[in-house]
Structure 1
Amino acid sequence: LAVLSLAYYRFLVLFFACLLTFGSYFCFDMPSVLQDQFQGVSNITCYNGTFTNHSRDCIEGLGMSPQEFNFLYAIYAWTNAVVVIVAGFLIDKLGNRFGLFLFSLLTVLGSSIFALGSHFKGTSYMLPIMLIGRLLFGAGNGSLTIVQARVAAFWFKGKELALALCLTRSFSRLGSVLNFFITEEFECQYGIQWTLWGGTILCILGFLSAVIVSELDIAGVKQLGLDGAIKEESKKVRAQDIQHLPLRYWLLALTIMFFYTGIHPFVADASKFIQDKYDGYDRRTAGYIAGAVYDSPLFLSAAIGILIDYIGMRGVMVFLCSVLTPPVFALLAFTYVPPLVATLWLGVMYCLAAASMWPSIPLLVRQATLGMAMGIATSMQMIGIGLSNLIVGAILGSKSSEAKIPLWRWQEMMIYMLVNTIACIATSVALNVVDRKKVRTNKVRRNTKPNTQVESRSGALPDTENE
C-alpha cells in the first residue's frame, strides 16, 4: 500500500479529477446568465437600443421563447437520463480511462456545436443545431461526473470519502459561480458568439485534465498491485446486477431526484424571475444573486464533508436538508423576501445535500458496480429535472419574453418547486425508517452470533453511525 499511504498522491489525483468538470459546468449554466440574450429579439435594429445601468431597452439576441429556452435544459437532462445508465455500465466494464476520454471529448464536441448554432440566429437552423450541441454535451457531462466520482471513491473509500466527493462537486460549482460573475460582462464586450466559444475552450481544458487523471489512476493502481483484481471484477459485472441494489439505494436515488428537481430548474430561470418580481435589479445583479445558490458550497463543502466523515449520521443530514428546503419556495411564492436571502439559503441546503446524498452511494454498492449505481441515480435525477424544465417552460408560457412574465406565472412555478421538495421529505423519511430497521436487524445478528463479524457495505447510513 505504498502509493495509497502517500496522501499527496491521492490528493494529486483528486486535484485533476476536480478539474474534469470545471469547464463543462461553466458551460452548462451559461444560458441561465444569458437568458435575456437568448430570448431577445434577433433582428439587427436592436443595435440602436440604449443602455441604462447595464441593461438595454431593446436586447439583441437569439429570439428564443421561454419554452424554447427551457428546452435547452430539458434536452440536456433527458439525454443524461438515457445515456448515464449505459455509460455507468460501460465504465464498470471497460474502466476509467475509457470513460475519461470518451465523455470529456463529448463535452468539447457538444459545446462546439452549441456555439456554432448561435451563428445561425434568425434562421430555422439555429435551434436544431444548438439542441444537437446540448444533446452531445449532456451525454458527455453527465457521464463524466460518474467516472469522476468513481475515481474519487476508489482513492478515498473508507477515508475522507465525503470530503473527496464534496471537493469534486465544489470545483464543478466553482465553474458555475464564475460563469455567473464573468459571462455577463464578457458578453457585453465580445458578444454572445465569442462568449459561447469561450466556454468551449474551458471544456478543452477539462479534456486535458482527463488525460492526466487517466495516467495517474492507471499508474497508481499498478503500483498497488490491484490492476489484475480490478480487471477480474470488471469482467463479472452484468446488467442483471441492478436487481441486487438494496432498497436503501433506491430510496436515496428518489430523494436525490426530488431534491434536484426543485433546485436546478429554479436556477435556470432565477435571473429572469428576480428581474420580473423585484424592482431595481438589472441583469448583471440578478445573475449574481441567482449564482449565490452555487456560492455557499464553495465555502462550506469541505467543512461539511469533513464533519460528515467524522460524525456520520448521513440519514439525518439528508432529512434535514429535505425539510429546510420547502420554506424557501414558499417565501418566494407568497412574500417579497429579498432574493439573496432565498438563494443563499438554497445554497446551504444544496451543499448539505451534496455532502450527504452522493457520497452515500459508494457505501451502498460494490466498487465494481459503482458506475452502474451512479448512472442510475444520475438518470433518475435527470429524468426529474427534464420533466421539471418542460413543466416550468409550460407554466411560464411560450411567447417571447421581451416584457415581464406575469407574477402569477412565477408564483405557480414556485408552488410546483414546493411540491417537489415536499416529495423529497417523504422519500427521506422512508429512507430513515428502512435504515433504522436495518440497524435493528444487524443488532440481532450481532447478539445471536457474537463471534462473527457482520460485514456491512451499508450504504448511505452505516450502522455504526446510527446506533
Structure 2
Amino acid sequence: MKVEDWKWRYLILVFDCSMTFGCYFNIDIISAVQADIQGQDTGTCANISSNATCCEGCLGLGPYRYNQLYTAYSWMNALFALPGGYMIDRIGNRVSAVIVTMLATIGSVLFAVSTMDGIRGTATMFPLMICGRLFIGAGSGSSLIVQDRVVAFWFKDRISFVYGFVIFALRVGNVSNYLLTANIAKLYGIRWAFWMGTLACVIGVFSAVSLAVVDYYGTKQLDDDCKISMKALPVSRKDIRDFPATYWMICLVIMSYYSSYLPFVGNGTKYIQDRYGYSKTTSSYFTGAIYDTSVVISPLIGSLLGAIDCHGIVLIAVCVLTLPVFPLLSYCHDIHPLILTIWIGVSYTFAGVCLWPCIIIVVPKKAIGTAIGIATFIQGLSIGLTNLVTGKLLGFTEDPDKDSLLHKYQKMFWLLLGMLLFSTLCSVVLNVFDLTKGRLLNRRLAKKNSKELKSFVDEKSPLMTDAPSIQSYVSIDASNGELIPGIQ
C-alpha cells in the first residue's frame, strides 16, 4: 500500500499538530503577563488605574531582563536546532517526538517553580527562569522539525494544504495562551498561570507518544518501497554543501521576517497598554489577535497557496504588504491597535504557510530535518539578538515618563522595520534565483513554460543537439508536459 492510500494517516496529522500545542502555548506565555513580570510589586491592586504598570505579586524584572527571557529561548532554540535536526534525521520521528516534548515540559516546570513562594523575589528566581526558557527553547524548535518531517513523509502529495492545518494548530497554542494566561494570573496569581503552561506541555507529551504508536502501525501497512523511502538516512556534509542557493535565501528571509514580528509580539502587550491605556487583560487580547487571525485563516491560506502554486511571488507580496504596519503603530495613534494586530496576523500567516514548505520543496527528503534545523538556528540567533537590542532600547527599568517611553518604542519599531526591509530584499533575490534554477518555488510558471517548451521540442527542434538540457534543472513528464521538481 502506498502512503497516499492509507486513510488513517490523517490521525497522524492530528497527533502531529497537537504535539506542539504545549510548546507554542509557552513561547509567549510571558508576553501575556508582561506587565506582571516587568513591574515592581506595588502592594495592592485597589484603586489602580487600568494602565498601571503593576500591582501585587509582580516580579520586577524590568524591560531588559524581560527581553533576556526571550533571548534565552531564541538562542537555545537556535543552538539546539542545529545538532537537533541532524539527530532527528538519524534517529527518526518517533523517539524524537517524545524526547523534544519532554524537554519543553521540563522547561515549563522550572519556569513555574521559579515563581513559587520561597523562590520568587530571591537571587535564584531569575536564573531558574532562564533555565526554564532554555529547556523550552530546546524542545520547541526541535518539535517543529519533527512535525515538518512527519508532514513531509506522510503528506508529500498535499504539502501546502496540510501545512495550513499545521500552522492552525500552532496558533491554537498561541491563542490559548493569550486568552487564558492573563485571566488565570488575574484570578489566581501568576504562578498558577505558569503551571497551566506545564499542563499544556503534558498534553504535548501524550500526543507525541500517540504519534509514535500510530506512525509505527501505519508504516507496517506500507509496501517495501515506501518503507525504505521513509527510513531515517545519514546526512553527510556533502548533502549540506549541495543545498541550492534558493535554500540559503529562504533561511535569510525566515531569519529577518521572524525577527521583525516576534519581538513585537513579545513587547506588544505592554506597548498597547502604555500607548493606548487599555488594561493588561485587554492589551493581551489585542496582541493575541495576531494568532486569533492565524487560527481562522491558516487552513484557507494553505488551500489557496496550493492552488496558486507560486510560493516565491506570494512571499514578495507578503513582505511588501507588511511594511506599513510598524510605521502606523509608531506614529498613527488614531488607528485602533486591533486593526494593526489583525493586519500582522494575516501577513504573518501567509508568510508562515509559505516559507517552511519552501524548504521541503528545495532540499532532499532525507535532509529535511537538517535543513530545517539550520534554518531554525539562523532564525533563533537573529531573533535573540533582536530581542536583546530591543531590551537595550527600552531600558533596564520601567520609564515613568510616558513621552520618553514612547520615544523608546519608536526606536524599537525602526529596528523591526529595518529587519522587514531586509526580508523584502531577500525575497526578491530568492525569486531571481528560483526563476533561473527550475522555478521550483513558482511551479505554476514552470508548468506553463514546460508546455511551451514541449510544444517547441515536438514541432521545431532537431532530433540531436549539443545545447544544455533543461533536465540539468528539472525533468519533464512526457505524458502531460509538467515539470517534476528534482534536487540538483
Q: Shared fold by TM > 0.5?
A: yes
- Find the counterpart in structure 1 of residue 93 from structure 2: 96
Deviations along 1:382-437, whole A, 9 cap, x unmatched?
Answer: 11111110010001001146775611101010111110100011000000111111
Partner Cα distance (1:321, 1:306) in 2: 17
Aligned position for 1:68: 65
For 1:140, the equivalent position in structure 2 comes to 139
Cα separation, 1, equivalents of 2:483 and 2:340: 35
Task: State the one-letter code of the partner of 2:251.
Answer: A
1:190 aligned residue = 188
Q: Verify the 8 A CA contact 1:53 1:282 in the aligned structure 2.
A: yes
Indicate the residue corresponding to 2:443 in structure 1: none
Residues 40 and 59 in structure 1, CA contact (< 8 A), matched pair in contact too = no
Asked whether the 8 Å contact 1:33–1:271 carries over to 2, the reply is yes
Within a 5 Å distance, the mapping from 1:7-406 to structure 2 comes to 7=7, 9-42=8-41, 46-47=43-44, 49-51=46-48, 58-119=55-116, 120-157=119-156, 159-226=157-224, 229-230=228-229, 234-279=232-277, 281-336=278-333, 337-400=335-398, 404=402, 406=405
Q: Using the alignment, how far apart are the partners of 2:342 and 2:80 within structure 1?
A: 32
C-alpha deviation, 1:234, in angstroms: 3.3
User: Per-residue deviation at 1:303?
Assistant: 0.9
How many percent of aligned residue pairs carry the same amino acid?
36
Letter in 2 for 1:161: I
The alpha carbon displacement at 1:59 in A equals: 4.4
Secondary structure, counterpart of 1:63 in structure 2: coil
Q: State the distance in 1 between where 2:165 and 2:307 align.
A: 16
Deviations, residues 167-208 of structure 1 (Å, cap 9, x unaligned)? 112111111112111111111111111111111011001000
Compute the TM-score of the two structures, normalised by the length of structure 2: 0.88
CA drift of 1:463 comes to: 6.2
Within 1, Cα distance between the matches of 2:421 and 2:38? 32
Aligned to 1:432: 431
| Counterpart residue type for residue 256 of structure 1 | I
Q: TM (normalized to structure 1)?
A: 0.91
Counting matched residue pairs gives 456
Q: Give the SS at the match of 2:114.
A: helix
1:361 CA displacement: 1.1
Q: CA deviation at 1:334?
A: 2.0
CA contact (8 A) 2:160 2:306 kept: yes
Which moved further from structure 2: 53-62 or 346-355? 53-62
Letter in 2 for 1:5: D
* Segment drifting more, 140-149 vs 50-59: 50-59
CA distance in 1, matches of 2:106, 2:192: 16
Shift of 1:89: 0.5
Cα deviation for residue 39 of structure 1 reads 1.4
Go from structure 1 to structure 2 and tell me whether the alpha carbon gap of 1:316 and 1:241 turns closer, same or farther (over 3 Å shift): same
Q: Report deviation, 1:223.
A: 1.4
Which structure is larger by alpha-carbon Rg, 1 or 2? 2
CA offsets 1:345-382 (integer angstroms, 9 cap, x no match):
10000111012111111111111100001111111111
Contact 1:321 1:353 in 2 (8 A): yes
Distance 1:53 1:396, change over 3 A: closer
